[in-house]
Chain A
């Protein structure tokens, strides 16, 4: 890539209504990012997805097989002086923690931005963990944006800090930043980066423990120096309210700062309660905060999701926050939480408003107000796979994994969900737990999706086989990461930036793990699927590992009608409700005339036919 080519990326264009993630992608493009590697995960996925549209030929994009690989790949490009990004959700950082801890020591050359999206709530995650604490553990700066426009600015800030101090920088948007839209001004001209050049420095890039000690000292110096950086200093902003007369001051970072600003101004209190917003919560400049708030001894600390600033400011101020219960210690922070926290400290202000009551309607609605939980989509082949599993291996222990198929819980075929890949290791653990018993062992089946299998199932399978564990592993292969919107799996060979790489077939990976029995079947062909699982259970019972690849495309992405819609024979139907209670396809509903199949929802997969024990649901050939 020659510098001249960069000039073909002019700035300008209209203001666009962008998602926070898209605003971050725009920032990456503008800042001249040359490599972005990600593993999909809500709420981070759209960052990488938004990048191909910019058409930057000098930008390598990839859906890496997992987050650790994404960060490691980005680190080497950064060693070469290029601006790089690794993008993931908060639990993905757990997987990438190994390279991050070490990368903080080696440092970087080209700016390295680690974009980690947190999910307070949680809405689509196993934990509510606060990435800022992991930044503190690794001793790297973390930027905490509030609105999308700030997230885009912080991409630029993050790169400046990363390159100036040669340190990886974390940008930590929370879900409400990633998935909210705001007007974002037109493109800035893409920055020209350096050409890639790797300068050998063995004592840094391949440092042995004695050099690691020196790198640790260097890291301590860097993280201390960052506090004096003009970008970091200017990230501390104090509102106009007088500090000395205030009953307390608010110190806030991220979205809670925006909630506080809205509430103070809407309640006409912006001149009464000082609000100090912190853009870089780690490293935190306690000296700057104490001097900015000189004369005010009491603080309300508002931050998401843990108590990072509250911990760091303890001893300097009397603090209202999570530790004294002013702010709840779990769940998403919302304007309501902030208003309630303020109301506890300012009871006379009437900050928690009465909400609307619509005569008697509300009462009536309250009875109806059962929040509907998510379910597998109509026509989802996972439902058919789970049904076959339940039929062929009743009474088994079913270890589950992370993906849409976690929703198999409602079919009674998911007993455990721990983290990515754990279905396989936990199945092995259950297998070894049963060896000591004299009773007949309970059959064990692990269920994992294709992307999750590639992500971290492969080492688990290799380990289980090598140790001699035996169970049925059912891989639900729809060819993509379906929950996050259909990113291609390695089996497809499709690349994030478009074009084709080299497909890595799942069967070959499984065989490479030492598995002798591999079956491939179509879950929508229910009779043969049940037979395959029964045979597999028998082989596993004899002490051999069996892998079944249950292969069928995602119904959400492939929306074409699969066949004629089944019909219900109301003469035969005895309303046992197994089809709706146990099978549970959303297309099956009870109307006044009995069971009906909703035309707009039914995909014609006909998997429901097998769910009826008395053949009241059938497909009539046209």
Chain B
């Protein structure tokens, strides 16, 4: 049923304030950097006040920013209680990345993104560790250099260095688990 010419669809779940929106933005900008078509959605207003937040990113040809349950290829959960909220959008053969310190469960790829981000010195950038892990997945369409280039354009020198470190630590972390 799945045609490779269609978009690579990503669900991002988390809580308001965790940088769900920022992550979807980085993914979007990196896709644009690679010259790929991309559509993302964001959540604003009432729903952002600490509540559960779902964002979507579609990389490749599509008309709409949302996709139907079963079409998603990757779930990036910034909070381990927000996995279930995103699971229903995934189809067979998809991958799940979870920010958690718990022991790995089958089928889920655990990344201690909070730990990586805190030890690098910016606990707000756990989302980038998760993105680093995503880049190591074989079918993930974004390339390391594209993401790095986008991160370099987002903040001051010091924060950028830390964020790059967090992103690269995500790459290493997942490489070890594979």
Contacts of B15 in A (CB 8 A): 372
Binds B, one of A197-205, A349-357, A391-399, A611-619: A349-357
- Which chain B residues (69-86) contact chain A, with CB distance < 8 Å? 69-72, 80-81, 83-85
Contacts of B96 in A (CB 8 A): 358
Please list the 8 inter-chain residue pairs (A to B) with the smallest Cβ-Cβ separation, ordered nearest first: A42-B45, A353-B70, A369-B84, A124-B45, A180-B65, A365-B84, A374-B49, A335-B68
- Which chain A residues (359-375) contact chain B, with CB distance < 8 Å? 359, 361-362, 365-366, 368-375
Asked if residues B87 and A358 are in contact (CB atoms below 8 Å), the reply is yes
Q: B172: shortest Cβ distance to chain A, in Å?
A: 25
Is A484 an interface residue, CB under 8 A from the partner?
A: yes
Contacts of A61 in B (CB 8 A): none
Is A432 an interface residue, CB under 8 A from the partner?
A: no
Q: A470: shortest Cβ distance to chain B, in Å?
A: 32
Asked if residues A123 and B43 are in contact (CB atoms below 8 Å), the reply is yes
Prevailing SS type, chain B contact patch:
mixed
Is A407 an interface residue, CB under 8 A from the partner?
A: yes
Is A339 an interface residue, CB under 8 A from the partner?
A: yes
Contacts of B91 in A (CB 8 A): 353-356
Is A376 an interface residue, CB under 8 A from the partner?
A: yes
Asked if residues B46 and A355 are in contact (CB atoms below 8 Å), the reply is no
Asked if residues A43 and B44 are in contact (CB atoms below 8 Å), the reply is yes
Asked if residues B49 and A371 are in contact (CB atoms below 8 Å), the reply is no
Q: How far is the CA of A335 from the CA of B67 in the complex (A)?
A: 6
Asked if residues B46 and A374 are in contact (CB atoms below 8 Å), the reply is yes
Contacts of A17 in B (CB 8 A): 25, 28-29, 32, 38, 40
Q: A259: which of B37, B66, B81, B88 is its contact (CB, 8 Å)?
A: B66
Asked if residues B62 and A262 are in contact (CB atoms below 8 Å), the reply is yes
Asked if residues B16 and A374 are in contact (CB atoms below 8 Å), the reply is yes
Is A146 an interface residue, CB under 8 A from the partner?
A: yes
Contacts of B67 in A (CB 8 A): 262, 335
> Which residue of chain A is the closest to B15 with respect to CB atoms?
A372
Contacts of A354 in B (CB 8 A): 70, 91-92
Q: B84: which of A179, A334, A368, A373 is its contact (CB, 8 Å)?
A: A368
> Which residue of chain B is the closest to A263 with respect to CB atoms?
B68
Q: A214: shortest Cβ distance to chain B, in Å?
A: 43
Knowing that A372-B52, A404-B49 are A-B contacts, what are 17 other residue pairs whose CB atoms are under 8 Å apart, sorted by A's residue number?
A: A42-B45, A123-B46, A181-B38, A181-B41, A181-B42, A335-B64, A356-B91, A359-B106, A366-B84, A369-B85, A372-B15, A374-B16, A374-B47, A374-B49, A404-B46, A406-B46, A485-B44
Asked if residues B25 and A334 are in contact (CB atoms below 8 Å), the reply is no
Q: How far is the CA of A292 from the CA of B60 in the complex (A)?
A: 31
Asked if residues A361 and B68 are in contact (CB atoms below 8 Å), the reply is no
Contacts of A336 in B (CB 8 A): 68-69
Q: How far is the CA of A335 from the CA of B94 in the complex (A)?
A: 19
Q: A484: which of B41, B45, B47 is its contact (CB, 8 Å)?
A: B45
Contacts of B28 in A (CB 8 A): 17, 181
- Would A176 and B65 be within 8 Å (CB), given that A359-B107, A362-B87 are in contact? yes
Q: A22: shortest Cβ distance to chain B, in Å?
A: 11
Q: B31: shortest Cβ distance to chain A, in Å?
A: 8
Asked if residues B65 and A124 are in contact (CB atoms below 8 Å), the reply is no
- Would A374 and B50 be within 8 Å (CB), given that A356-B94, A359-B107, A600-B123 are in contact? yes
Contacts of B107 in A (CB 8 A): 358-359, 361
Contacts of B1 in A (CB 8 A): 267, 350, 353
Is B39 an interface residue, CB under 8 A from the partner?
A: yes
Contacts of B90 in A (CB 8 A): 355-356
> Which residue of chain B is the closest to A255 with respect to CB atoms?
B64
Asked if residues B41 and A371 are in contact (CB atoms below 8 Å), the reply is no
Q: How far is the CA of A74 from the CA of B17 in the complex (A)?
A: 36
- Jot down 7 A-B pairs with beta carbons below 8 A, ordered by A: A42-B45, A179-B44, A180-B41, A362-B87, A365-B83, A374-B51, A600-B123
Asked if residues B87 and A355 are in contact (CB atoms below 8 Å), the reply is yes
